[in-house]
Structure 1
Amino acid sequence: MTLTVFDKIISDRGSRYAVSGGPAATRAEVAALLAELRQNKRFAKATHNTWAAILSGEGVRDDDGESGAAQIIQQMLERAGLTDHVVIVTRWYGGKHLGGDRFRHVVDAVRHYLAQIGR
């Protein structure tokens, strides 16, 4: 399995975002990619590692405390037709609430990832 990471892609009011992902056909492969990401201490200490995947037609996701964000990732994967793949949006909280802008940043991060992998 290969994890692709795009770090420091968005910064807003102290919060910073990264996006990662890779092929994953099972929940075990998703867990392995998340474990690989968290081996990097910086990502392990992130406020949120929100993720979603479409595995053989079944959507699986985890908000990791960023309520509603994983659903956005899942919807974007469905629209892009990207299956058996996990996308993880990482946020380091900067001390100021972003309100609805946090969802815009999740969308922008996923768009960045999809563009980089040619989707």
Structure 2
Amino acid sequence: MSVALFTLAQPCRHQEEIRKSRFLALAAPVESTEQAMAFVREVGDPTATHNCWAWRIGQDYRFNDDGEPGGTAGRPILQAIEGQGMDRVAVVVTRWYGGIKLGAGGLARAYGGTAAECLRRAGRVTIVAMARLGLRCDFAELALLKARLKDLQAEVEHEAFGADGVELQLRLPDSRVAEACLRISDISRGRSEARRLD
């Protein structure tokens, strides 16, 4: 069984003062690289000393130290995202320098700790792995098929009516695919067979 991953229910923020430097973490749920980078650009403060950030979306991730010593800001923020079991999340930690140097270890603790505390306090929602199925069915079976698949949280993304039936594209939780395929076969008496589209 795979470990449940979470994303944020909504954007959140957390601020700390560490040895006269002010650290502000802003985090948001994101679905794409473009959305993550737009968030980074949108919330970074040009008057701040540094706007360090990280994001993770599935296997894709990026981080940036924005002028802090290498490995002291972006990577600790990414580790905070992973440590909180989060995915599809972007975090920007903005620092206003207060005159006291923190050293490499102090910077990593400050950036990572501020990001982790922001995510710890945030509302979260479980990420459900989704799948896409395609199938063709007869007109007579369409209504029953749609009703019975709705019980499995399947949503019709696309339907196309042809001369000899209906082409459907469905989106449903990955965990319900096997059950959906059985229902489709039962309702159509074996005439319709679902195929994975992803």
Is the structural similarity TM-score above 0.5? yes
Distance 2:48 2:28 in 1: 19
Q: CA deviation at 1:75?
A: 1.8
Distance 2:26 2:64 in 1: 14
Q: CA deviation at 1:22?
A: 0.3
Distance 1:12 1:73 in 2: 16
Distance 2:47 2:79 in 1: 27
Using structure 1 for the length normalisation, give the TM-score.
0.81
Contact 2:28 2:89 in 1 (8 A): yes
One-letter amino acid matched to 1:93: Y
Q: 2:57 aligns with which of 51, 55, 58?
A: 55
Look up the SS of the partner of 1:54 in the other structure.
strand
Distance 2:18 2:80 in 1: 22
Query: Quick one: higher RCO (CA 8 Å, sep 6+), 1 or 2?
Result: 1
- Larger Rg: 1 or 2? 2
- Whether 2:111 is the aligned partner of 1:106: answer yes
One-letter amino acid matched to 1:47: T
Contact 2:48 2:94 in 1 (8 A): yes
Distance 1:79 1:30 in 2: 19
- How much is the aligned-residue C-alpha RMSD, in angstroms? 1.8
Structure 1 residues 116 and 95: alpha-carbon distance in aligned structure 2, compared to 1, 3 A threshold:
same
Look up the SS of the partner of 1:53 in the other structure.
strand
Contact 2:26 2:91 in 1 (8 A): yes
Structure 1 residues 19 and 77: alpha-carbon distance in aligned structure 2, compared to 1, 3 A threshold:
same
Contact 2:27 2:90 in 1 (8 A): yes
One-letter amino acid matched to 2:34: A
Using structure 2 for the length normalisation, give the TM-score.
0.51
Look up the SS of the partner of 1:30 in the other structure.
helix
Q: Deviations over 1:51-73 (max 9, x none)?
A: 11111211211111122111111
- Whether 2:12 is the aligned partner of 1:4: answer yes
- Whether 2:94 is the aligned partner of 1:84: answer no
Structure 1: segments with no counterpart, 5+ residues: none
Distance 1:12 1:75 in 2: 20
Distance 2:32 2:57 in 1: 6
Structure 2: segments with no counterpart, 5+ residues: 1-9, 125-198
The share of aligned pairs that are identical, in percent, is: 33
Look up the SS of the partner of 2:101 in the other structure.
coil
Would you identify which runs of 4 or more consecutive aligned residues in structure 1 move more than 2 Å?
2-6
Structure 1 residues 3 and 45: alpha-carbon distance in aligned structure 2, compared to 1, 3 A threshold:
farther
